[in-house]
């Protein structure tokens, strides 16, 4: 290789790396961050606006344009020229989503509704991403160990696009409010967050248990345990991911429920008590997990 090439090749490599967009989780449309969207944040928002039991002050305070902007913000922070946010792996977004919800409480007390809306949007982004198991903390490592570094990355990349594209235009089902095991609403945001983190840690752990032991952590393990449209789980075996979309729509429904519930508990306070009045169905974590409340004609804890 000539002297010029010794210089040119590294420069080209740096340019290519710098221009490659960081791989994101759910599409902005799925998050509800685009105009005319029917994504996660939009469905959570319209559930609140349509609810006759939520006080007008809250409905008037919330502003969709700020929520929508917030719902896209964390992906913009990751890109040029900011590079401010880390990759949206599951453990990271679990923590971030909870932090932003906690800020909502404080901002509402101060009466700064623009910021309340914006922060609700940001929280919706992070807790939307938390169900995107293609971005599991160990996902890439898992594939790289199974198939080698070069092939492994390509297989992971293919698979993760597949999962995310399947739900790009999906409108999540109307969310229910997640309540405690006795069917009671949580009395504080921090109680709800603690319970949510326990469940999400379970989810992250079960999806891909151990990147060092690839036989003990196949993505399909999680799907196999699900109660979903496809009952012949054999189709998921041996790395066949063509039918994973049966799971990806479910993941978006679960995200939406998590986001909606987080919003309600963040907006709930001692003067409005909205968590006890919202007209949405109530589901326990067990039901959220098993999706049994989605069985046609079967409703749990319908209050009104």
Cα–Cα distance for residue pair 213/84, rounded to 1 Å: 33
Report in angstroms how near the CB of residue 135 gets to Zn ion at its nearest: 6
For Zn ion, give the closer residue by CB, 29 or 88.
88
Contact assessment for residue 74 and residue 123, using Cβ atoms and an 8 Å cutoff: no
Point out which span in 65-73, 124-132, 229-237, 240-248 binds Zn ion (CB under 5 A). 124-132
For Zn ion, give the closer residue by CB, 113 or 159.
159
Does residue 85 interact with Zn ion by CB under 5 A?
no
Cα–Cα distance for residue pair 51/41, rounded to 1 Å: 16
Point out which span in 9-17, 42-50, 75-83, 138-146 binds Zn ion (CB under 5 A). 75-83
Report in angstroms how near the CB of residue 28 gets to Zn ion at its nearest: 9
Report in angstroms how near the CB of residue 26 gets to Zn ion at its nearest: 7
Polymer length of the chain: 304
Q: What is the DSSP string of 95-150?
A: HHHHHHHHHHHHHHHHT-HHHHHHHHHHHHHHHHHTT-GGG-TTHHHHHHHHH-HH
Q: Which of 118, 43, 102 is nearest to 267 (CA)?
A: 102
For Zn ion, give the closer residue by CB, 8 or 165.
165
**Position closest to Zn ion via CB:** 88
Cα–Cα distance for residue pair 15/20, rounded to 1 Å: 9
Does residue 23 interact with Zn ion by CB under 5 A?
yes
Report in angstroms how near the CB of residue 19 gets to Zn ion at its nearest: 18
Does residue 129 interact with Zn ion by CB under 5 A?
yes
Instruction: Report how many residues bind Zn ion under the rule CB under 5 A.
Output: 6
Scanning residues 150 to 179, which ones bind Zn ion (CB under 5 A)? 160
Does residue 90 interact with Zn ion by CB under 5 A?
no
Report in angstroms how near the CB of residue 21 gets to Zn ion at its nearest: 11
Helices (DSSP H) in the chain: which residue ranges? Answer: 3-19, 28-31, 40-49, 56-61, 64-77, 90-110, 113-129, 139-147, 149-165, 189-207, 219-224, 245-267, 274-277, 285-290
Report in angstroms how near the CB of residue 161 gets to Zn ion at its nearest: 7
For Zn ion, give the closer residue by CB, 58 or 131.
131
Report in angstroms how near the CB of residue 114 gets to Zn ion at its nearest: 22
Does residue 136 interact with Zn ion by CB under 5 A?
no
Report in angstroms how near the CB of residue 31 gets to Zn ion at its nearest: 7
- 115, 120, 121, 125 alpha-carbon torsion, rounded to 10°: 140
Cα–Cα distance for residue pair 260/263, rounded to 1 Å: 5
Point out which span in 19-27, 40-48, 57-65, 290-298 binds Zn ion (CB under 5 A). 19-27
For Zn ion, give the closer residue by CB, 88 or 282.
88
For Zn ion, give the closer residue by CB, 176 or 252.
252
Instruction: Give Cα separations from 278 to 114, 176, 262, 272 (angstroms).
Output: 22, 10, 13, 11
Beta pairing partners, 283: 178
Binding Zn ion (rule: CB under 5 A), the pick from 29, 68, 88, 140 is 88
The footprint of Zn ion (CB under 5 A) covers: 23, 25, 75, 88, 129, 160
């Amino acid at each position: 290789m000539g002297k010029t090439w010794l210089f040119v090749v590294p420069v080209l490599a740096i340019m290519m790396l710098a221009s490659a967009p960081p791989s994101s989780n759910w599409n902005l449309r799925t998050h509800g961050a685009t105009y005319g969207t029917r994504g996660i944040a939009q469905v959570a928002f319209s559930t609140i606006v349509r609810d006759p039991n939520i006080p007008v002050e809250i409905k008037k305070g919330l502003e969709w344009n700020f929520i929508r902007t917030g719902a896209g913000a964390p992906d913009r922070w990751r890109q040029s020229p900011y590079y401010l946010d880390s990759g949206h792996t599951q453990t990271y977004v679990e923590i971030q989503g909870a932090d932003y919800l906690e800020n909502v409480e404080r901002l509402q007390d101060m009466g700064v509704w623009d910021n309340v809306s914006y922060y609700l949007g940001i929280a919706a982004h992070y807790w939307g991403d938390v169900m995107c198991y293609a971005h599991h903390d160990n996902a890439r490592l898992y594939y790289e160990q199974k198939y080698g570094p070069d092939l492994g990355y390509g297989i992971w990349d293919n698979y993760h696009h597949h999962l995310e594209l399947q739900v790009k235009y999906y409108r999540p089902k109307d969310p229910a409010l997640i309540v405690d095991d006795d069917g009671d609403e949580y009395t504080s945001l921090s109680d709800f967050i603690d319970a949510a983190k326990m469940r999400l840690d379970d989810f992250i752990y079960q999806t891909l248990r151990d990147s060092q032991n690839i036989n003990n952590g196949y993505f399909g393990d999680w799907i196999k345990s699900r109660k979903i449209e496809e009952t012949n789980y054999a189709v998921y075996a041996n790395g066949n991911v063509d039918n994973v979309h049966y799971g990806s729509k479910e993941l978006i429904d679960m995200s939406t429920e998590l986001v909606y519930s987080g919003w309600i508990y963040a907006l709930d306070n001692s003067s409005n008590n909205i968590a006890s009045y919202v007209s949405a169905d109530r589901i326990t974590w067990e039901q959220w997990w098993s999706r049994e409340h989605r069985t046609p004609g079967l409703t749990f804890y319908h209050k009104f």
